[in-house]
Amino acid sequence: MKSRQNYNPPTEPARDAVDTILEQWRRERPDLDASPMGPIGRIKRCAALLEQQLEAGFSEFGLSLWEFDMLAALRRSGAPYCLSPTALFSMLMVTSGTMTHRLKRLESCGWVLRVPNAQDARSSLVQLTDTGLALIDRAVEVHVENERAMLSAMPADALEQLDAQLATLLRVLEAPSDSLSPAKTT
């Protein structure tokens, strides 16, 4: 006979905040299939929690998430670490007005400077300064280790599957908008 001390009854799967929301909708609107809220709610909640942890890592360098993103975009563009403001705001999915404000902030910190565009005398380019380059090179190393730590509790095969599934979702969402529209009925 088995001892009671060694017996571990099966447990229910762990619940998360989205499970509670879905349960509330099932109770209040049993006629509504709210199942799409599951994956989208979890992605949004994960994004918010990840952003908090990323911001904590960047604070060591006196950076915010958007500052890191801009410096990283310039760094990964390759030497001479220079892009047009239009290329930057398109890459980072912000408005030109937001980009102008952000560039002023990065310039005031001495991390970027505007340089003349040799191909177009009417425009300028944004370039990392030596200080900005040194900063982003240090920050990206810590950033990658921070991300590794955040994901470390997940098995490697689960991470590969998650990455593949998120890549599929991203391709769907980035597809032309007419492919996301509900089917038209006539």
Residue 90: predicted pLDDT: 83
Residue 8: predicted pLDDT: 62
User: Exposed, middle or buried by CB within 10 Å (0-12, 13-18, 19+), for 125?
Assistant: buried
pTM attached to this predicted model: 0.78
Q: What is the mean pLDDT of each run of 10 residues along the chain (186 residues)?
A: 56 82 94 94 94 94 94 95 88 83 94 90 90 97 95 94 94 77 52
